[in-house]
Amino acid sequence: MDLLRAVARPLLAASFVVDGIDAIARPKRHVERMRRVTPALERVGVPPVMDSDAALAARALGAVSVAAGLGLATGRAPRTSAAVLAAINVPLAVVNHPVWAVKGREARLDAVSGLLRRGALGAGLLLASVDRAGRPSLAWRAANKREQRRAIQAAKAAVRQRYEGASA
């Protein structure tokens, strides 16, 4: 792993690990945030969630966030971990920065700013999810192997034909 990845991945994952630990230890704060967006979610068709279920969901999402964050930070399955964090970043952004639910100019600007920061974080995670650290993709490696096999077979056939032609 090069120096850039050794620094960038843990920094990218740090907020998810901290938020995940907080969600596991203190789910009440996360349930309160979810309550703010529950009416809007219900209007869209999401069924209502009881507080006990919301606390369990907060803890479960927190555990996933910690596990994927640590995976990204330590370089263990970093592409998968980044993809998982990018996926859970969407509901976290909606719950933590509900632009439509806040009143007042300052509160709306704060919510928009937070939503844009979450969007930038999600974009970074998407980039990390496709980063192969300089190694070619599996599809390229398979196609290259097939091409090498064909070239070897063609070379063998040319040598065989040359020797068979020389012996005749």
State how many domains the chain has. Answer: 2
The CA distances from residue 146 to 11, 92, 135, 142, 154, in Å, are: 39, 44, 18, 6, 12
Do 18 and 95 lie in one domain? The reply is yes
Do 70 and 131 lie in one domain? The reply is yes
pTM of the model: 0.75
Do 26 and 103 lie in one domain? The reply is yes
Do 156 and 129 lie in one domain? The reply is no
CA-to-CA distance for 35 and 42, rounded, in angstroms?
A: 11
Do 84 and 101 lie in one domain? The reply is yes
Do 58 and 104 lie in one domain? The reply is yes
pLDDT at 168: 60
Do 106 and 29 lie in one domain? The reply is yes
Do 88 and 145 lie in one domain? The reply is no
CA-to-CA distance for 89 and 28, rounded, in angstroms?
A: 19
Do 154 and 164 lie in one domain? The reply is yes
Do 44 and 122 lie in one domain? The reply is yes
pLDDT digits (tens, 9 = 90+) for 55-101: 999 999 999 999 999 999 999 999 999 999 999 999 899 888 888 88
Do 64 and 145 lie in one domain? The reply is no
Q: Are 24 and 63 in contact (CB under 8 A)?
A: yes
pLDDT at 6: 87
Do 79 and 154 lie in one domain? The reply is no
Q: Which residues of the chain have pLDDT under 50?
A: none
> What domain range is 167 assigned to?
137-168
Residue bearing tokens 């920094």:
11
